Chains A and B, each alone.
Chain A
Amino acid sequence: MEIPDHSSDEGITDGLKIVSYALNSKGEYELTPDFVWSPVNVANHQAWREIEKQITKSREKVAAGRVSCLHYYMIANQMDTGLLAQYTGQPRWKVCLHLIPFIFNRLPASTLKNYAKLYKISPDDLIKGRLRPPIYNPE
């Protein structure tokens, strides 16, 4: 791969300048900064679109009362029931039960606190069903 004479836009890295290996004019490899190859951007945008699609779907389900707001937080933080179970130190079937609104509304404060701590929100947000942005996107 030869060094291109223009640098591509910031794209996926949000302005982070990365380095890649590229051949210079003498045919020697060097680390060149500020070079994000555009097909990577395409693939990464595709992945994020897919995540956003799932988040929107989850929001609709929560609004319709088919799942608890925990489902939204799980999906928004790119987790599945297995990963959430590992993070909170519970068996998976319990997490699955907690996604049902009827059961979620009757959870003890300690369990809610556990979830709230993981997602850096207050237990009150979970009780009131407020949907805050995921952890990587504080507003």
Chain B
Amino acid sequence: MPDFSHSQSAHCESGVAANLLTHQGINISEAMAFGIGGGLFFGYLPFIRINGLPLVTYRAAAGHILQQIAAIPGVRMVQKKFRNRDEAMAELDRALAASIPVGLQTGVYWLPYFPKALRFHFNAHNLVVYGKEGDEYLISDPVFPKPVRCQADDLVRARFASGALAPKGKMYYLAQVPEKLERRHLIVRGIQAVSKMMLGSPFPLIGVRGIRFLAKRLGKWPQRLGQERADLHLGHVVRMQEEIGTGGGGFRFMYAAFLQESAAVMQEHRLQDCASSMTAAGDTWREFAAMAARICKDRARSDDSYAAMVASIHRCAAMEEKVFAELQKWTKQHS
């Protein structure tokens, strides 16, 4: 039986990155991988539709974290995409025969070990294949507590799912890693990239401006769409924010965990303060989600309303603006 240390994580991409690095002997937590990969983001992109509902994203585009990890000096990551299914599976088998654990991008809908309730057409799920027994692949799926197994047949379908973000059989593995990871520099770089995106975006739909834009639009949903459609849109926002893979609070808690860990690495209490403010922002996002859920369920309390939710999202925007301004100031002193 091939050996791979599986550890469960909250988000698939940072989990895969952390697990692959740990396998190569570089101990790194999921939150740290998320942070140095610059995984945090906000975007409200109503012109992209998912099941007919506008896209709200709390994280960087799929593949961003891995790209950043691959760009670390000394790390060499081999990435391949395929047109031909047989070729893709043969290449995977070759890597496994050389006992290299391989990361894959897959479509969740076709993975039979996933619980029924989560089987949507979502194509940017990452997992690690670390072995093959007969016709079954041994898979370390970071959101599952234990390694799982999957038939070759189903895995091919998952690797060649169609639709938005089609994986096209994408596979990747680490070919080379440095002996020791120089974390301090990577932490500064990761924070710098995220705060720049959150504060300095010229587009009104992303970063803190995006959060305010969402608040403005959300307030108008009941008049524009009618109550039923508005509730559906609202439920969609809550799902994007809180569903499995986010670590809770739209990735804000995971980022706070990263800041906390960085504070220890850098011996810097200011980062610890930022972690606390980030947690507060995450809590406010949760407050909003809880209120939204009550409205969706027709159990609204007397002070629950779309206007109240707008106010709560504006509070999130203000809090994050403050945290990232502080972080930006900090990175300027350290670069």
A: which residues have CB within 8 A of B?
Answer: 1, 12-23, 28-29, 31, 33, 37-40, 42-44, 46-48, 50, 77-79, 83, 86-87, 135-137
Contacts and interface: CB of A to CB of B under 8 A. Distances in A.
Contact of A21 (B10, B231, B286): B10
B121 A78 contact: yes
Given A39-B292, A40-B239, A40-B244, 20 more contacts: A1-B282, A1-B286, A14-B115, A15-B115, A16-B115, A18-B244, A19-B9, A19-B247, A20-B247, A20-B248, A21-B253, A23-B279, A38-B293, A39-B242, A42-B297, A43-B235, A78-B51, A83-B162, A86-B162, A136-B116
A135 B114 CA distance: 12
Contact of A137 (B116, B144, B243, B283): B116
A14 B232 CA distance: 23
Nearest to B231: A46
Interface string B232-264: 100110110011100111000110110011000
A115 to B, nearest CB: 14
B109 A31 contact: no
Contacts, number: 122
Interface string B148-171: 000000000000001100100000
Contacts of A83: 121, 162-163
Contacts of A16: 115, 144-145
Given A1-B283, A12-B118, A18-B143, A47 B235 contact: yes
Interface string B118-131: 11110000000000
A39 B162 contact: no
Interface of B: 8-10, 30-31, 51, 109-110, 114-121, 143-145, 162-163, 166, 231-232, 235-236, 238-239, 242-244, 247-249, 253-254, 256-257, 260-261, 275, 279, 282-283, 286, 289-290, 292-293, 296-297
Contacts of B293: 38-39, 42-43
A18 B142 CA distance: 10
A21 B116 contact: no
A83 B163 CA distance: 6
Nearest to A89: B162
Contacts of B163: 83, 86
B8 A46 contact: no
A46 B232 contact: yes
A136 B109 contact: yes
Contact of A33 (B8, B31, B115, B238): B8
B242 A29 contact: no
Nearest to B295: A42
Contacts of B254: 21
B167 to A, nearest CB: 13
A28 B29 CA distance: 14
22 contacts: A1-B279, A14-B117, A20-B247, A21-B247, A29-B256, A29-B261, A31-B8, A39-B286, A40-B238, A42-B296, A43-B236, A43-B293, A44-B117, A44-B243, A46-B235, A48-B117, A78-B51, A78-B120, A78-B121, A79-B121, A86-B162, A136-B119
Kindly list the 10 A-B residue pairs having the minimum CB-CB distance in the complex, ordered from nearest: A39-B293, A14-B115, A29-B257, A86-B162, A21-B253, A43-B238, A42-B293, A136-B119, A46-B235, A43-B235
A27 B39 CA distance: 23
B296 A46 contact: yes
Contacts of A47: 51, 235-236, 239
Nearest to B145: A17
A45 to B, nearest CB: 9
A56 to B, nearest CB: 16
A21 B163 CA distance: 31
Contacts of A39: 238, 242, 286, 289-290, 292-293
A34 to B, nearest CB: 9
A1 B256 CA distance: 11
Contacts of A37: 242, 248, 286
Contacts of B253: 1, 20-22, 29
A21 B51 contact: no
B244 A29 contact: no
Contact of A1 (B120, B238, B249): B249
A87 B248 CA distance: 33
